[in-house]
Structure 1
Amino acid sequence: MGNSNEHKNTPVWAFETIELKKPDPIWKDKGVREKEELYNLLSVFSVKQVEHIGSTAIPNLPAKPIIDLMASIPSLELIHEIVENLSLHEWHYVPPELDKQPWRRFFVKVKNDKRVAHLHLMQEGEERWEQQLKFRNKLRTNAHLAEEYATIKCHLAQEFNNDRESYTEAKTEFINKVLFN
């Protein structure tokens, strides 16, 4: 039967198309709420910092309507307990062998079979923590960069509509330009 049964155990949200939405001021409020909820859920694991990152954290930027957050943790030793805790609150763990990003542990919050939030859980001292903040803050303070990024994202969302990994990878050159120039 091939393709029809190939992904039968894979959740629907794992294959969502890339759908950029016009900037929505409500994303900021959703980010604050998700941040507070995650902090409350993860503080028992010594998480002291949760940040709203990604395009929904940048005013006037089109984005997939998914709130990206990152949290810093002293150690990933308790990941199984964290997975158990977050799974009670609509968070789905994507193991590193599927995520293919060894520097983080990744979670997707799902409602009605659609992604509503992502959590990038990183060990304290991970260099990508500062890079995520630097990128977000540069786009928040530089309208020209934000406009350029919006144009690139819109083009790539059409080109890679059904391929999240390629869409993300194709944004890397611009992100690196912002971070390292």
Structure 2
Amino acid sequence: MILRMNAITIVRPDPTWAAQFDKTARTLQGILGDTALRVDHIGSTSVPGLPAKDVLDIQATVPTEPQLDDAAQLLAEADWELRPPRRDHPVPGLPQDELQWVKRLVVEPMYRRRVNLHLRVDGRANQRYALLFRDYLRAHPDTATAYGLFKQRAARLPIETTGEYADLKDPVCDLIYLPAEEWAARTGWTL
């Protein structure tokens, strides 16, 4: 008999996630200096009341693509772990140009608070996606509740890797993001 372990654990919302982000953001700003235009709390832990993996997702925005590697190097020198270069998934209806989806992923130094740090270029589709997705869920608590239920149910499936979980979750996020674009246009939302 094969026992399958699930790679994903979704926890109850933690009201201290925002304070944990603030502390981590100060550390990141100290490391990155002027290389980062901004450091933002993104992902499920950035939406009050939303169940999530207990990992802070943070986005550091840099002005140009070469600065992705500059920022990654600064972080590596501070003992952050650089993951291989990757791209976010292209979203239907948004630019399909691969450059719009380029990012670097860096994770926390060993024995520190779990963080996925996404380095993205200012003005690119993937940089906007993360911020608009977060703000839309903050402004639409019923949508956030439905998304939280999906995440909890998905985490109970026999998923073996975080990549499989992301592949399952990406189209659902896109279904939320597409009306978020309409909401942004209607309300005048900007970065």
5 Å-filtered alignment, 1:14-163, equals 17-45=7-35, 47-96=36-85, 99=86, 101=88, 103-112=102-111, 116-163=114-161
Secondary structure in 1 matching 2:171? helix
Opposite residue 122 of structure 1, the aligned amino acid is R
Opposite residue 152 of structure 1, the aligned amino acid is F
Aligned partners of 2:150 and 2:109: how far apart in 1?
A: 27
Pair 160,86 (structure 1): closer, same or farther in 2 beyond 3 Å:
farther
Pairwise CA distance, 1:115: 6.7
The residue aligned with 1:13 is none
Pair 111,62 (structure 1): closer, same or farther in 2 beyond 3 Å:
farther
Opposite residue 34 of structure 1, the aligned amino acid is T
Pairwise CA distance, 1:83: 3.3
Pairwise CA distance, 1:31: 0.9
**Percent same amino acid among aligned pairs?**
27
Partner deviation per Cα, 1:12-61 (whole Å, 9 max, x = no partner): xxxx921111110111101111122212211242x121100001101111
Aligned partners of 2:70 and 2:147: how far apart in 1?
A: 37
Does structure 2 retain, via aligned residues, the 8 Å contact 1:110–1:117? no
Does structure 2 retain, via aligned residues, the 8 Å contact 1:160–1:166? no
Opposite residue 104 of structure 1, the aligned amino acid is K
The residue aligned with 1:9 is none
Secondary structure in 2 matching 1:171? helix
TM-score relative to the length of structure 2:
0.76
Aligned partners of 1:27 and 1:90: how far apart in 2?
A: 23
Aligned partners of 1:139 and 1:78: how far apart in 2?
A: 30
Q: 2:173 aligns with which of 159, 169, 175?
A: 175
Partner deviation per Cα, 1:115-137 (whole Å, 9 max, x = no partner): 70011101222111111111101
Pairwise CA distance, 1:104: 0.3
Pairwise CA distance, 1:81: 4.4
Secondary structure in 1 matching 2:108? strand
Aligned partners of 2:84 and 2:142: how far apart in 1?
A: 37
TM-score relative to the length of structure 1:
0.80
Aligned partners of 1:79 and 1:61: how far apart in 2?
A: 30
Pairwise CA distance, 1:110: 4.0
Give structure 1 stretches of 5+ with no counterpart: 1-15
Equivalent pairs counted in the alignment come to 162
The residue aligned with 1:12 is none
Aligned Cα root-mean-square deviation (Å): 2.1
Does structure 1 retain, via aligned residues, the 8 Å contact 2:38–2:61? yes
Opposite residue 52 of structure 1, the aligned amino acid is H
